[in-house]
C-alpha cells in the first residue's frame, strides 16, 4: 500500500460555511451533480429526475439513539456518559430490550472527577418513577465498560429515550436541541444503534421516495450502526496509519438478491451505505475462502492485502449460500474497512453524500470515487454557497472510470 499524505486532503473550510441547523424543508437543500468530470447543481428535490430508471438506491436505515447521558455527583460535578456500543447483551436488539441491566462501551467526559462510586439519575417514564445507576467495570484504554441498572422493568430503549440526549456532531459547537430529535434522523430510520446519523439520507422526504418509485427506481435498506469514530479526524501524517473504528452491519438476504439484480446500476445513499455494500463484497470473499467461518469481521486493510479475482456476483452468491446453509435470513457482521483513494469500489456506481470535513476518512472515501477531482467539486461547492457537513447540502457523484 502506498503512503497517502493526509495533507493532500486538506482544504479551508470557514466556520460560517458549516450548517449549524437544518433547513426548514429537508429537500430544499442544494444538490451538486458530478458526472464524467462535469459539475453543476440543482435543488435536491430534482433528484428523481437524475437517477436512471430500473436502478437501485440503497439506504442505511439505522436510527440514532439518545446516547449522551448526563449524571451529577453530590458535589454538582457533571459526568457525561456517551454510549458507543453494547457489550452485554452484545446484540443491539437484545440490549435495548433489557429490563434491568446492561453493559456498554462508553466514553466519559470529566472522568477525572469520577472515582469509583456509582452514579445515579432519577427519571420518570410513562408515569413510572425510577433511578438509573451506572458503575465502572473496566477499560480497554480507549473506552470504559459501564454497567447500567434500573428496577422498573422498562426497556433500556425507554430508559435511554428519557434519560439521554441526541449526540449532535461536535463541530456544531452547540448542545442538542429539540429540533435535532426529529431532523438528525432520517424519515426511514428503524433499528436503533447509531450515535451519528447517516446524514446523506437527511434530505429525503416521502414525496421524493414516492417520486423515485413512480419512475421505476427501486429502493432498499441495509443497516450499519454508525459509531462516534466517524467524527475522528486523521491525525497521522499518512492516512494509511490511521486506526479505523469498527461498526456492525446487517443485510437481509432479500436485499442481497436485489443488489445482485442491479449490479452496475446502484446508487448508495451515504458513505455508510458504501462501507456496508463494499464490506458485503469482502464478506463473500472471506466465505469463499473459508465456508465454515463465523463472526465475520472485515479488517481495516483486508481489501488491500488480497489480490482476489472474485466477481461481485460470485461473492454475493457465496453470501446467499452461507445464509441458506446456516438457516439465516440476514448477514450479521462487522467492518473496519478503510476506503482510501487507491481503493476500487466494486458494488456502487453512484454516491449521494454531503460535504465532509478536511482530512477526514469520509473525504478519503469520496476521493476513491472521483479521484483528484474531489478538489474541483469542493471548490465549486465553496464558490456556490453550499452548506457543509451533517446539516449541509448534498451531492451525487458518479464513479470515475479508471484505467
CATH number of the domain residue 89 falls in: 2.40.10
What pLDDT band is residue 49 in, cutting at 50, 70 and 90?
Answer: very high
Q: What is the pLDDT of residue 291?
A: 77
Same domain, 368 and 269: yes
What percentage of the chain reaches a pLDDT higher than 90? Answer: 85
Q: How would you classify the pairing of strands 394-398 and 350-354?
A: antiparallel
pLDDT single digits (tens) 344-396: 999 999 999 999 999 999 999 999 999 999 999 999 999 999 999 999 999 99
Mean pLDDT of the 172-196 span: 94
Same domain, 139 and 29: no
Least confident among 160-169, 217-226, 300-309, 374-383: 300-309
Return mean pLDDT, the chain. 94
Q: What is the pLDDT of residue 245?
A: 84
Q: What is the pLDDT of residue 142?
A: 62
The answer, yes or no, to whether residue 403 has pLDDT greater than 70, is no
Q: What is the pLDDT of residue 141?
A: 59
- Cβ atoms of 18 and 171 within 8 Å: the answer is yes
For residue 378, the domain's CATH number is: 3.40.1780.10
Same domain, 49 and 91: no
What is the extent of the structural domain holding 86?
67-165
What pLDDT band is residue 294 in, cutting at 50, 70 and 90?
Answer: confident
Same domain, 301 and 316: yes
Same domain, 264 and 139: no
What is the total count of domains within the chain? 2
Within a domain: 256:
yes
Same domain, 86 and 17: no
Same domain, 327 and 209: yes
Same domain, 28 and 45: yes
Q: What is the pLDDT of residue 140?
A: 62
Same domain, 245 and 112: no
Same domain, 118 and 240: no
Q: What is the pLDDT of residue 231?
A: 73
Within a domain: 140:
yes
The answer, yes or no, to whether residue 163 has pLDDT greater than 80, is yes
Within a domain: 175:
no
Within a domain: 359:
yes
Q: What is the pLDDT of residue 1?
A: 72
Amino acid at each position: 500500500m502506498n503512503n497517502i499524505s493526509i495533507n493532500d486532503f486538506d482544504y479551508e473550510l470557514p466556520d460560517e460555511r458549516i450548517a449549524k441547523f437544518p433547513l426548514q424543508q429537508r429537500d430544499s437543500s442544494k444538490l451538486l451533480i458530478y458526472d464524467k468530470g462535469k459539475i453543476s447543481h440543482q435543488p435536491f428535490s430534482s433528484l428523481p429526475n437524475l437517477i436512471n430508471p430500473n436502478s437501485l438506491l440503497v439506504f442505511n436505515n439505522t436510527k440514532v439513539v439518545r446516547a449522551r447521558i448526563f449524571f451529577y455527583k453530590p458535589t454538582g460535578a457533571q459526568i457525561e456518559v456517551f454510549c458507543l456500543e453494547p457489550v452485554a447483551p452484545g446484540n443491539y436488539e437484545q440490549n435495548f430490550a433489557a429490563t434491568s441491566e446492561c453493559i456498554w462501551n462508553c466514553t466519559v467526559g470529566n472522568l477525572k472527577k469520577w472515582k469509583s462510586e456509582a452514579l445515579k439519575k432519577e427519571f420518570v417514564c410513562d408515569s413510572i418513577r425510577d433511578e438509573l445507576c451506572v458503575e465502572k467495570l473496566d477499560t480497554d484504554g480507549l473506552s470504559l465498560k459501564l454497567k447500567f441498572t434500573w428496577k422498573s422493568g422498562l426497556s433500556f430503549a425507554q430508559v435511554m429515550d428519557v434519560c439521554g440526549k441526541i449526540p449532535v456532531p461536535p463541530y456544531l459547537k452547540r448542545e442538542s436541541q429539540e429540533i435535532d430529535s426529529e431532523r438528525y434522523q432520517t424519515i426511514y430510520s428503524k433499528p436503533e444503534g447509531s450515535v451519528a446519523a447517516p446524514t446523506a439520507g437527511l434530505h429525503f422526504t416521502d414525496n421524493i421516495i414516492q417520486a423515485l418509485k413512480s419512475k421505476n427506481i427501486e429502493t432498499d435498506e441495509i443497516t450499519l450502526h454508525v459509531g462516534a469514530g466517524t467524527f475522528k479526524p486523521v491525525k497521522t501524517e499518512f492516512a494509511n496509519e490511521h486506526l479505523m473504528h469498527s461498526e456492525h452491519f446487517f443485510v437481509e438476504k432479500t436485499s442481497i438478491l436485489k443488489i445482485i439484480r442491479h449490479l452496475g446500476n446502484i446508487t448508495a445513499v451515504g458513505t455508510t451505505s458504501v462501507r456496508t455494500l463494499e464490506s458485503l463484497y469482502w464478506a463473500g470473499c472471506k466465505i469463499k475462502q473459508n465456508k465454515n467461518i463465523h463472526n465475520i469481521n472485515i479488517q481495516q486493510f483486508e481489501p488491500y492485502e488480497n489480490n482476489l479475482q472474485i466477481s461481485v456476483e460470485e461473492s454475493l452468491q457465496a453470501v446467499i449460500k452461507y445464509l441458506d446453509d446456516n438457516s439465516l435470513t440476514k448477514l450479521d457482521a462487522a467492518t473496519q474497512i478503510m476506503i482510501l483513494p487507491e481503493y476500487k469500489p466494486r458494488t456502487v456506481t453512484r454516491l449521494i453524500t454531503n460535504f465532509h470535513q478536511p482530512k477526514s476518512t469520509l473525504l478519503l472515501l469520496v476521493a476513491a470515487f472521483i479521484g483528484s477531482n474531489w478538489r474541483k467539486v469542493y471548490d465549486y461547492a465553496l464558490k456556490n454557497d453550499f452548506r457543509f457537513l451533517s446539516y449541509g447540502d448534498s451531492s451525487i457523484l458518479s464513479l470515475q472510470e479508471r484505467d
